[in-house]
């Protein structure tokens, strides 16, 4: 499954980049996120998220480890997550690119997810619809959080 899009955020590119890597901003922005903290893992530091999504059949809570790669401040970061549960597994990669535009930042994302197990049998149109709703809520919350940091 591939999902891409962009969002205009009324903040500078360095502010948006910093917020993308801030556990408390992400906790307040990700729908259903109960906690977010940086933990030391064998491969380096990762963000440990506890998420209870509001998606039928995927109630949770789930523990998701989010790692970053291709971190190029303040313009690009790639986020990788591989949550597993009794429903199956997902390997998701999301490349986020930031570009300045006047007094705003254009955040462009390109995400790819591969699914295994029961979750893979869910029709893609249903999953994409649920992800789109979650993304819309994330961006609304994220912009609110970024605005609060500047204030």
Separation CA 106–CA 122 (nearest Å): 32
Distance of CA 47 to the CA centre of its chain: 11
CATH code for position 29? 3.30.530.20
Counted domains in the chain: 1
Range in 13-27, 37-51, 71-85, 115-129 with the lowest mean pLDDT: 115-129
Residues 83-124 have pLDDT tens digits of 877 777 888 999 999 999 998 999 999 999 888 888 788 888
Structural domain boundaries enclosing 42? 2-150
**pLDDT at 151 > cutoff 60:** no
Indicate whether this model's pTM tops 0.85. Answer: yes
């Amino acid at each position: 499954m591939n999902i891409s899009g962009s969002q205009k955020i009324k903040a500078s590119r360095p502010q948006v980049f910093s917020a993308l890597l801030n556990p408390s901003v992400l906790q307040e922005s990700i729908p259903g996120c109960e906690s977010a903290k940086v933990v030391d893992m064998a491969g380096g530091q990762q963000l440990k998220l506890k998420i209870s999504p509001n998606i039928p059949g995927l109630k949770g809570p789930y523990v998701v480890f989010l790692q970053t790669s291709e971190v190029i401040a303040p313009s690009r970061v790639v986020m990788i997550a591989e949550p597993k549960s009794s429903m199956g597994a997902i390997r998701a990669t999301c490349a986020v690119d930031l570009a300045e535009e006047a007094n705003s930042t254009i955040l462009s994302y390109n995400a790819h997810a591969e699914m295994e197990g029961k979750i893979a049998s869910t029709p893609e149109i249903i999953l994409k619809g649920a992800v789109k709703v979650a993304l819309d809520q994330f961006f609304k919350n994220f912009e609110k959080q970024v605005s609060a940091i500047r204030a």
